[in-house]
């Protein structure tokens, strides 16, 4: 359903090493991926490996230097129809829920952003007050949260609101970019359980970007290792330990070491 083909991305280098013209640093190298309908694809890599850049390309937010993204066979950057279709079928949940939710907005207004996106898609108003309650219920919260501000919620509760906002426009695909990374371990598990439940209930497809191997094994069906902007391994999570690729192994080890350091 969503396919990335031969994507290269480069950014202008901060240091000007040439007198004429500009130097560019290539951040993604020849990335091709297929996201199967109803699956959860993990994109795993250390910080700076290009995960968020790839996420932005997949969401239609960053045109690659080369290559294309296809939604149901339609090109996203080369055709308006493809871009529109992607916008209508994909929602995004970011890591930094504290900045992705406007601090001056009440929960109701945050949810309204998602509902309005759905109304634009439908071409008519939904306008029912029960919509808000239903959305809250979907993410395990009740209507007493509607008038609260983000600072009156815990990290886990606010991330649930961001998930509700993402679900409000009835997407087929949700992309999570380190969406649970800043939550404590216990809350991470609760939110991942919620995501699993929603995925079944709403027949969703997930793209789950993370630097955390444990969450990949908990929620993903397939995993793609990204190392310095290159895919080094792409396999089902059930076979993650069989990974042959040296970079993937290195990455697995470095992540495990990193986690040990974090808990030490």
Per CB under 5 A, which region of 50-58, 167-175, 180-188, 218-226 contacts Mg ion? 50-58
Q: Maximum distance among all alpha carbons in the chain?
A: 62
Here's the x/- map for ligand ADP, 4-33, by CB under 6 A: it reads as -------x---------------x------
**232: partner contacted, choices Mg ion, ligand ADP, none (Cβ within 5-8 A by kind):** none
In angstroms, what is the minimal distance from the CB of 200 to ligand ADP?
28
**49: partner contacted, choices ligand ADP, Mg ion, none (Cβ within 5-8 A by kind):** ligand ADP
- Residue 6 dihedral angles phi and psi, to the nearest 5°: 50, 50
Taking the least distance from each CB to Mg ion, the nearer of 52 and 243 is 52
Tell me the three-class secondary structure of the chain, residue by residue. Answer: CEEEEEEEEEEECCCCCCCCCCCEEEEEEEEEEEECCCCEEEEECCCCCCHHHHHHHHCCCCCCCEEEEEECCEECCCCHHHHHHHHHHEEEEECCHHHHCCCCCCHHHHHHHHHHHHHHHHCCCCCCCHHHHHHHHHCCCCHHHCCCCHHHCCHHHHHHHHHHHHHHCCCCEEEEECCCCCCCHHHHHHHHHHHHHHHHHCCCEEEEEECCHHHHHHHCCEEEEEECCEEEEEEEHHHHHHCCCHHHHHHHHHHHHHHHHHHC
Here's the x/- map for ligand ADP, 45-84, by CB under 6 A: it reads as x-xxxxxxx-------------------------------
**53: partner contacted, choices Mg ion, ligand ADP, none (Cβ within 5-8 A by kind):** ligand ADP
Taking the least distance from each CB to ligand ADP, the nearer of 24 and 239 is 24
In angstroms, what is the minimal distance from the CB of 33 to ligand ADP?
15
Rounded CA gap, 216 and 193, in Å?
A: 13
Taking the least distance from each CB to Mg ion, the nearer of 9 and 136 is 9
In angstroms, what is the minimal distance from the CB of 214 to ligand ADP?
17
Taking the least distance from each CB to ligand ADP, the nearer of 48 and 239 is 48
**47: partner contacted, choices Mg ion, ligand ADP, none (Cβ within 5-8 A by kind):** ligand ADP
- Residue 52 interacting with Mg ion (CB under 5 A): yes
Q: Would you tell me which residues interact with ligand ADP (CB under 6 A)?
A: 11, 27, 45, 47-53
């Amino acid at each position: 359903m969503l396919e990335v083909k031969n994507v290269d991305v480069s950014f202008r280098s901060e240091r000007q090493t040439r007198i004429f013209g500009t130097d560019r640093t290539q951040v993604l190298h020849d990335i091709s991926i297929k996201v199967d309908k109803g699956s959860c694809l993990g994109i795993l890599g250390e910080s700076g490996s290009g995960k968020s850049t790839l996420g932005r390309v997949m969401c239609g937010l960053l045109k690659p230097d080369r290559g294309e993204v296809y939604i149901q066979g339609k090109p996203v950057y080369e055709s308006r129809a493809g871009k529109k279709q992607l916008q209508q079928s994909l929602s995004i949940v970011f890591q930094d829920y504290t900045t992705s939710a406007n601090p001056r907005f009440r929960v109701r207004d945050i949810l309204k952003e998602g509902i309005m996106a759905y109304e634009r898609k439908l071409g008519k108003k939904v306008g029912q007050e029960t919509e808000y309650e239903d959305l809250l219920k979907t993410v395990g919260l009740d209507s007493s949260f509607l008038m609260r501000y983000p600072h009156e919620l815990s990290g886990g509760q606010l991330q649930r609101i961001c998930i509700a906002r993402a679900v409000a426009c009835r997407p087929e695909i949700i992309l999570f970019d380190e969406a649970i990374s800043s939550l404590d371990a216990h809350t991470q598990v609760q939110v991942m359980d919620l995501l699993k439940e929603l995925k079944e209930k709403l027949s969703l497809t997930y793209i789950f970007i993370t630097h955390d191997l444990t969450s990949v094994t908990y929620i993903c069906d397939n995993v793609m290792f990204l190392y310095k902007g290159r895919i080094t391994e792409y396999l089902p999570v059930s076979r993650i330990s069989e990974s042959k690729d040296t970079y993937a192994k290195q990455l697995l080890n470095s992540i495990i070491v990193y986690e040990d350091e974090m808990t030490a």
